[in-house]
Amino acid sequence: MLSTVKMLHSYWAYLVFLMMIIAAANALIKHFGKKEYDPKDFRIALFTLIVSHIQLLIGIVLWFAADYFGESTMKDVMGNDALRSNAVEHPLTMIIAVALITIGYSKHKKKLTSAGKLKPLAIFYTIALALVIIKLPWSQWFNL
């Protein structure tokens, strides 16, 4: 079961990453190009929100199922770079990234103009993408 959850989390991450790139790029291009917000933009933002939340839920299941800590103390975990990254830094950063996506999506829904809708998407989705890029386990990503 753990291997299935791990595989699902790994492969779903590609979809999330792709959607985050598309959503952030779309919002940035349209915001700085002073273009109109259209239904396609809403669907891109919503789909990115959905896939990122699904990935977060899979990650939470994996975090509890993986038993990173075992018999280790918190001092042992924090002293081991790889374990600290997988058990603490990666999950915390991804939770923050998904929270930023959620905030950006919520803020954009309340705005009435195209510029007002695109600005929060551009800001929050881009910051979330930057966090994901910084904390993705790239060495594991290419070794599937």
Pairwise CA distance, residues 119 & 121, whole Å: 5
Domain that holds residue 111: 2-141
- Burial label for 119, CB within 10 Å (0-12, 13-18, 19+), is middle
Per the prediction, the chain carries an average pLDDT of: 90
**Six-digit token pair at 86?**
């997988």
- Predicted TM-score (pTM) of this structure: 0.89
pLDDT tens figures, 73-100: 778 878 878 778 888 899 999 999 999 9
Determine the angle formed by the axes of helices 114-135 and 90-110, rounding to 10 degrees: 180
The amino acid present at 120, given as its one-letter code, is P
Determine the angle formed by the axes of helices 2-32 and 114-135, rounding to 10 degrees: 140
Specify the number of domains making up the chain.
Answer: 1
